[in-house]
């Protein structure tokens, strides 16, 4: 049976044999070249575990952003979010966020030498007001000297552990920094660069500008270039790889409430027709597994609190399930959740409308907040103290 596809992907063929090379980042070989995007509040160990299961552990699964200062100071919640599940023996991947090269270097050293991570990604794309207003995340590429200094010190401290950087196109249409950021990453020893093809002002609105990925690929020649933005179906990944020539894809919102997307991506990128998405019964089973993993990792109270935000994403588009959401958004225990979904029918096919439905972040744009005077002195690489802890995106 052919898999469900939306209209935009009606004619996209699966990969030809050998069409896409594995993604090589340091010692890591990721085959097919698919990466779970770091997402704050989402890509903790339980969610990564779920995505690993659906893709036979073949992709790269990056943690949510971990604030370097909170990590170095040993904040309990940060240490928990930075930790890995028992099933994460290979390709342990963590994203660091911070603005101070020394603090970031210290965090990288500890992660490499004591925590046994295999990959460190760095966040230079977070558009959250609190973050950019203090000169972090998407604001950092505005200061090429600071970006250079941060990447250099983290690469040095991480030793053999490969470091990659992730950034956006720039602040807004009038201040595009991605090509310079790519060159800096390449020059300072990053092992790959990833572009979310929107500006910070765009947040998550409109369509990602894949042509910027093409331009970055033409600019950064010696390390892999990863494309990111608007991969909701496996065929979107095929189109992005083919249209931009990028070396791998980074997948964010498309897998929210759809962790099986990684299995579909593995199939399509290796020349197989993906299976059709699960029916409601199988979706409910996946949601239950996710809840069990969250409870085992965070304890039942916090685990079920975490699960609540996923319930609407899992049930998206299935007729007759909306009435369950108010109770599911308040659910406190695993048994309560199981009882709430017990009377839902199982034999309901996956709704096409759910494939590309907006799952997180609305279509708004913003005027990006930067520290005062930040734009006047772009080549002054002043260091602003790291915030204690940030939940971002």
Ligand X SMILES: Cc1cc2nc3c(=O)[nH]c(=O)nc-3n(C[C@H](O)[C@H](O)[C@H](O)COP(=O)(O)O)c2cc1C
Comparing CB distances to ligand X, the nearer of 40 and 220 is 40
Comparing CB distances to ligand X, the nearer of 227 and 277 is 227
Tokens of 249: 């894809």
Comparing CB distances to ligand X, the nearer of 58 and 166 is 166
Residues in the chain: 393
- Give contact residues for ligand X (rule: CB under 6 A): 37-42, 64-65, 95, 123, 125-126, 166, 196, 228-231, 251-254, 360-361, 392-393
| β-strand pairing of 175-176 with 192-196 | unpaired
Q: Least CB distance from residue 347 to ligand X, whole Å? A: 30
Alpha carbon 128 to its chain centroid, in Å, reads: 15
- The CA-atom distances, in angstroms, between 1 and each of 4, 270, 272, 348 are 9, 18, 12, 16
Comparing CB distances to ligand X, the nearer of 196 and 258 is 196
Q: Least CB distance from residue 17 to ligand X, whole Å? A: 27
Q: Which of 51, 126, 255, 295 is catalytic?
A: 126
Comparing CB distances to ligand X, the nearer of 36 and 220 is 36
Give exposure, 83-101, as e/b (b: 16+ Cβ within 10 Å). ebbeebeebbbbbbbbbbb
Q: Least CB distance from residue 309 to ligand X, whole Å? A: 9
Q: Least CB distance from residue 128 to ligand X, whole Å? A: 9
C-alpha 371/C-alpha 377 separation (Å) is 11
Which one, of 27, 10, 33, lies nearest residue 246 by Cα?
A: 33
334-341 vs 280-298: helix axis angle to the nearest 10?
Answer: 170
**DSSP assignment string, 110-167:** HHHHTS--SEEEEEE----HHHHHTT-GGGGGGSHHHHHHHHHHHHHHHTTS-EEEEE
For residue 318, how many other CB atoms are within 10 A of its CB? 21
Does the active-site annotation cover 126? yes
Q: Least CB distance from residue 231 to ligand X, whole Å? A: 5
Comparing CB distances to ligand X, the nearer of 387 and 392 is 392
C-alpha 144/C-alpha 377 separation (Å) is 11
Q: Least CB distance from residue 53 to ligand X, whole Å? A: 20
Residue number closest to ligand X, CB atom: 252
- The CA-atom distances, in angstroms, between 29 and each of 90, 91, 181 are 11, 9, 24
Instruction: Judge whether 244 and 236 are in contact, CB under 8 Å.
Output: no
Comparing CB distances to ligand X, the nearer of 251 and 287 is 251
Q: Least CB distance from residue 229 to ligand X, whole Å? A: 5
C-alpha 379/C-alpha 222 separation (Å) is 26
Enzyme catalytic residues: 126
């Amino acid at each position: 049976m052919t898999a469900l596809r939306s209209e935009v992907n009606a004619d996209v063929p699966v990969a030809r044999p050998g069409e896409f090379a594995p993604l090589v980042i340091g010692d890591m070989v990721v085959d097919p070249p698919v990466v779970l995007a770091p997402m704050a509040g989402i890509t903790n160990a339980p969610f990564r575990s779920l995505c690993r299961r659906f893709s036979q552990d073949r992709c790269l699964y990056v943690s949510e952003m971990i604030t370097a200062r909170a990590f170095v100071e040993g904040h309990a919640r940060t240490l928990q979010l930075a930790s890995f599940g028992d099933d994460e023996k290979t390709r342990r991947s963590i994203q660091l966020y911070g603005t101070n090269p020394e603090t970031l270097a210290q965090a990288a050293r500890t992660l490499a030498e004591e925590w046994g991570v295999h990959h460190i990604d760095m966040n230079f794309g977070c558009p959250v007001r609190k973050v950019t207003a203090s000169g972090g995340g998407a604001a950092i590429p505005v200061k090429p000297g600071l970006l250079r200094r941060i990447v250099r010190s983290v690469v040095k401290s991480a030793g053999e552990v490969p470091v990659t950087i992730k950034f956006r196109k720039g602040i807004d249409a009038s201040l595009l920094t991605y090509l310079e950021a790519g060159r800096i990453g390449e020059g300072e020893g990053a092992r790959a660069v990833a572009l979310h093809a929107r500006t910070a002002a765009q947040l998550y609105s409109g369509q990602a500008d894949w042509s910027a990925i093409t331009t970055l690929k033409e600019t950064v020649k010696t390390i892999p270039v990863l494309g990111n933005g608007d991969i909701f179906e496996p065929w979107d990944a095929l189109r992005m790889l083919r249209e931009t020539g990028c070396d791998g894809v980074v997948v964010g919102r498309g897998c929210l409430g759809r962790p099986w997307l990684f299995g579909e991506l593995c199939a399509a990128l290796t020349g197989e027709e993906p299976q059709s998405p699960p029916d409601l019964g199988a979706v409910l089973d996946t949601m239950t597994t996710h809840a069990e993993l969250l409870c085992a990792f965070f304890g039942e109270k916090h685990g079920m609190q975490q699960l609540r935000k996923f319930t609407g994403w899992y049930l998206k588009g299935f007729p007759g399930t909306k009435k369950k959401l108010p109770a599911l958004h308040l659910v406190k225990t695993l048994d309560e959740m199981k009882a709430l979904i017990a009377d839902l029918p199982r034999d309901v096919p996956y709704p096409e409308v759910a494939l590309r439905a907006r799952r997180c972040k609305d279509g708004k744009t913003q005027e990006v907040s930067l520290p005062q005077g930040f734009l006047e002195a772009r080549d002054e690489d002043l260091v602003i103290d790291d915030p204690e802890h940030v939940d971002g995106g």
